[in-house]
Amino acid sequence: MIGEVIAEFKGKTTGVRVLSEGKVETSEQGSGRILGIEATAVFTSLAVPLPNGILMGEGDGIITTADGEVVMVKKSGIKWPTRKGWKASRGAFFHMTQSQKLARLNRVVGVFEYESDEKGDWTAKIWEWK
C-alpha distance across the termini of the chain, in Å: 5
Confirm if 122 and 114 have CB atoms less than 8 A apart. Answer: yes
pLDDT in tens, 73-125: 999 999 887 776 567 889 999 999 999 999 999 999 999 999 988 888 999 99
Reported confidence tier of residue 1, pLDDT bands at 50, 70, 90? confident
What pTM does this model have? 0.91
Name all domains of the chain by residue range, CATH numbers in brackets. Answer: 2-129 (2.40.160.20)
Beta strands in 1-130 (DSSP E): 2-18, 24-34, 37-49, 55-65, 70-83, 86-97, 109-116, 121-129
pLDDT in tens, 111-128: 999 998 888 899 999 999
Q: Is the dihedral of CA 8, 12, 18, 22 positive or negative?
A: positive
